[in-house]
Structure formats: C-alpha cells, structure tokens
Amino acid sequence: MDKKLIINHQLLDIILSRLCHELIENYGDFEDTVLIGLQPKGIRVAQRLHQRLNDMCAQNVPLGFLDVTFYRDDFRRRSSVLKANETRIDFIIENKNVILIDDVLYTGRTVRAALDAMTAFGRPRKVELLTLIDRRYTRDLPIAPNYVGKQVNTLHSQRVLVEWDTAYGNQVWLLAQGLETDKGGV
C-alpha cells in the first residue's frame, strides 16, 4: 500500500485536546509562556492549539510564527531556491517559557535552526518542543519532543503528510517513497 492513514479526523481531535491538557497541567495560567509555531507547517498545529487553549483557559496565550529557512544547515545544499515565510513574533521571549510547535519531527534540523533563529527575539528561560508526529528512528540530531501527539515508526524513504481542512476533515498519512503530493509532506 502506498498510502496509509495513521490518524483520522476524530483521533486528531482527541490528540489536540490531550496536548492542550498536558500544556495546561504544566503551565496553568500560561503566565510568562508563549507559543511559537514553526513555518510553514507547524503554524497550523499552533493555531489550533492556541484557539483551544484560549477557549479552555480563558487566557490570551501569546502566539507567534517563526521562519527558520536561512538558519538551516542545509540551506545552500538544495537544488531549488528556498522561499522564506513570514516570521511574526510581536512579543519579547526574553526570560519566557517558549513552546516550539511543529507538525512533524523528522531529523531535528528544523528545531536546531529554530533555536538559533529565536536568539533574535531574546533569550528564553526554557524551551520545550511540541510535535504532532514524532518520526522515530530518523533523527540526525539529539533532539526529542516534550509533548508528542503520536510516535510513528518510519523509514527514511517514507513521508508523513498532515492534511488540514480536507473534505474528510483533518488527517495524517504515511506515504511510501515516490508518492508525491502538492501539499508537501515531511
């Protein structure tokens, strides 16, 4: 099979709720805590968590978006020119608890780049990583998430595709090598 559904719409809803409850358990009123979604795909997860947290806690948790394109160590090794996304962090992260949010954790290089890119906005007190999908056995760097939606055993030849707002709702697929989509799996 070239395409396998690993999270359907209902399960994804449960996972997002669970992640919010874990964050509330650890951060309570979110004083001195901010959420930062990693561009381009982590912002979709971050926006959904942000909305749920605000509804559940009646708090206005700060949310920002961080582009790490030019901080990646493989930036110049690509055959095509990368296009930068918007960074929007309109708050200071100095001495704050930062929760970095991404959709899929693969090699760890994006997270390493995010740690470098964040220094332009201050020095956080603590940084934690939340990822919807943790691709096990594919890490190049010693990076592990603090909050995980689902761990998935994958091969380097496979891709994980997180789809939002489709006719079937939100879902996550495991794709075999060579199965390309226009949505850009990781």
pLDDT one digit per residue (tens) for the chain, 186 residues: 589 999 999 999 999 999 999 999 999 989 999 999 999 999 999 999 999 999 998 678 999 999 998 887 665 555 666 677 889 999 999 999 999 999 999 999 999 999 999 998 999 999 999 999 999 988 999 999 999 999 999 988 999 999 998 888 899 999 997 655 544 445
- The closest of 151, 153, 152, 173 to 162, measured between CA atoms, is 173
pLDDT of res. 185 = 47
User: How confident is the model at residue 183, as a pLDDT?
Assistant: 43
Q: What is the dihedral of CA 114, 134, 6, 63, to 10 degrees?
A: -40
The pLDDT of residue 180 is 53
Measured in degrees and rounded to the nearest 5, phi and psi for residue 178 equal 90, -10
pLDDT of 88 reads 95
CA distance 20 to 181: 30
Those residues with Cβ within 8 angstroms of residue 170's Cβ, 6 or more apart along the chain or in another chain: 9, 12, 13, 162, 163, 164
State how far the Cα of 136 lies from the Cα of 174, in Å rounded to an integer: 13
**Closest CA relative to residue 148, chosen from 128, 162, 134, 169:** 134
Q: What is the pTM of this model?
A: 0.89
* Predicted pLDDT of residue 54: 92
Residue 169: its pLDDT value, please? 86
Distance of alpha carbon 39 from alpha carbon 26, whole angstroms: 25
